[in-house]
Structure 1
Amino acid sequence: MITMPKTAYVTGGASGIGKAVAEMLAGRGIRVAIADVNIGQAEAVARTLPGAATAVALDTATWDSQVSAFKAVLRDFGRIDYVYAIAGIGEKVWIPNDPTSTEFAKPNLKVLDVDLSGVLYTCALAIQQMRRQEPDETGFRGKIAVTASVCGFYCVSTLPVYTAAKHGVVGFVRSYGKHLPDEAITLNAICPNVVRTNISNEVFYSLMESQGLLVPMDSVVQAFEQCLDSNMSGETLEIEPKTGIVSRTGPEPLDKEAEETLKLLHQRGAALQAIGAKLE
């Protein structure tokens, strides 16, 4: 059993939700590492935090950068108890809308690279490291929380790639998050509606605020604290400005045949998650 001081790794911690979570963690006596593409801003935030916080440069969309940042923090901390995959970007033009063109443009999938692959990269690092760690005094090897969005539940027709990415994150958490507790690891997703961050512009946020539609940052931080302080795993917490934080369950099987098929799919996939499973 490990009783060392707790440590946390936060991607996107230089601003927005990541910064708020880093401040919450540091306020609880947890030593924080901020990993962000804006290293100057990350270092500035780290200097404001108690507990010898640190910062490291990270390009979330790149596996090599993810490994380098994670290893650097691990060398410093020795152990990482909590991992927060929060770095993200908003929708971009993914294909041009030019009916006069006779060429075919390669789609811009940067949003998938950051908001889906980047989250999976961070989770992959966290899970592999946590499996090597002894359980702490609470019985856990580690806890992971990621930022998704209400776009992981609902469909926004003008934000197709962002919506696809967030649906992917929600699906990953709802599935793998129910498997990991057997290994003393938890995985949950925070799915807020619109929060004032750098992902959009102030004109949009002012409009949302005037209609009472902005989710308070305090509510988002509270949702992360719920994951930190509980044994829950595989949960997706929606956050709305008035209703607050609600755990949203996935759809039930349509019929008996669907239910039985899902059981068989679960059995079929078990070997892929067993100890000793190797990449093909």
Structure 2
Amino acid sequence: MDLSGATAIVTGAASGIGAGCARALAAKGATVIVADLQKDKGEALAEEIKGLYVEVDVTRTEQITEAVNRAAEVAPLRALVNSAGIGWAQRTIGRDGQIESAHDLDAYKRVIAINLIGTFDMARQAATMMSRCEPDENGQRGAIVNIASVAAFDGQIGQAAYSSSKGGIVGLTLPLARDLAAAGIRVNTVAPGLIDTPIYGQGPESDAFKAKLGESVLFPHRLGAPEELASMVVECLTNDYMNGETIRVDGGIRMPPK
């Protein structure tokens, strides 16, 4: 699918994986809607890639609607990358045997609301707008890539909330692709491993920590670059025969229990 002359929405686009995807899509000729809560970083990136920043909290469905409408005003909406998400680490039960020490239920609900429900809400609204586009010569109207995580398969101790949210995205992939096939819209999921993003911090201590993490990667023995992940995202969007699939981009890592 040709993305030149089209719009592409990337949620969580202001930094990290989302920013890498936004830059890669702009390089393919798309006008990227930088959908994020980080206004300063989002506006700076939008200016850099000649895109458009729209404030989006993916738990607020009206903000998603606004982003989708803004995208369609610029050019036909052909691509969506769902990269917005948060992490959380807490064991299911506490050490003292008290129910009050069990996993924070509100925290669990928040992770699911952002990572899973936000992904679905964005997909259902963007796909609706894509369905109004004229199909290309292959009958395609658009494509969606959702960002999961290897935690969907190799969830570690304390990752019950995060892993179930990302596992939900993996489970969503095929039925969503089947639902949207009649409209000529493809859906794939990319599951990154250890990607070098700002969450690891900066400076000598951060570099040493990342180097240690990289030793656990099968090969190459390092963290992945956002650009490497973005390359797979772009492939899923532009390769007409990629549909209904979840792809790990992780250097062959299989996460241990902790």
- Please give the alpha-carbon distance, in whole angstroms, between the structure 2 residues aligned to 1:91 and 1:39: 23
Determine whether 1:11 maps to 2:36.
no
Alpha-carbon offset, residue 205 of structure 1: 2.9
- The letter for the 2-side match of 1:107 is D
Q: Which residue of 1 aligns with 2:256?
A: none
Aligned pair partner of 2:82 in 85, 90, 111: 85
Contact (CA 8 Å) 2:36, 2:55: kept in 1 or not?
yes
Aligned pair partner of 1:207 in 212, 223, 227: 212
Matched residue SS, 1:177:
helix
Alpha-carbon offset, residue 89 of structure 1: 1.1
Matched residue SS, 2:190:
strand
Percent identity over the alignment is 27
Q: Which residue of 1 aligns with 2:148?
A: 148
Q: Which residue of 1 aligns with 2:229?
A: 220
Alpha-carbon offset, residue 99 of structure 1: 3.6
Q: Count residues with an aligned counterpart.
A: 239
- The letter for the 2-side match of 1:187 is V
Q: Which residue of 2 aligns with 1:236?
A: 246
Decide which moves more: 159-168 or 121-130: 121-130
Structure 2 gaps, min length 5: 254-258
Structure with the larger RCO, 1 or 2 (CA within 8 Å, 6+ apart):
2
Contact (CA 8 Å) 2:130, 2:141: kept in 1 or not?
yes
Q: Deviations over 1:173-228 (max 9, x none)?
A: 02222342232000000111111224455645342135525223332122112212
Q: Which residue of 2 aligns with 1:42?
A: 42
- Please give the alpha-carbon distance, in whole angstroms, between the structure 2 residues aligned to 1:183 and 1:98: 51
| Cα distance, 1:162–1:138 mapped onto 2, change above 3 Å | same
Q: Which residue of 2 aligns with 1:255?
A: none
- The letter for the 2-side match of 1:136 is D
| Cα distance, 1:136–1:95 mapped onto 2, change above 3 Å | same
Contact (CA 8 Å) 2:32, 2:51: kept in 1 or not?
yes
Contact (CA 8 Å) 2:68, 2:129: kept in 1 or not?
no
Q: Which residue of 1 aligns with 2:55?
A: 57
**Where in structure 2 are the equivalents of 1:76-115 lying within 5 Å?**
77-93=74-90, 97=94, 99=96, 106-108=105-107, 109-115=109-115
Alpha-carbon offset, residue 115 of structure 1: 0.8
Structure 1 gaps, min length 5: 244-280
- The letter for the 2-side match of 1:117 is I
**Where in structure 2 are the equivalents of 1:118-197 lying within 5 Å?**
118-197=118-197
Q: Over aligned residue pairs, what C-alpha RMSD do you find? A: 2.6
Matched residue SS, 1:35:
strand
- Please give the alpha-carbon distance, in whole angstroms, between the structure 2 residues aligned to 1:205 and 1:181: 41
Contact (CA 8 Å) 2:24, 2:231: kept in 1 or not?
no
Q: Which residue of 2 aligns with 1:24?
A: 24
Q: Deviations over 1:227-261 (max 9, x none)?
A: 12212111001112258xxxxxxxxxxxxxxxxxx
- Which is greater in Rg? 1
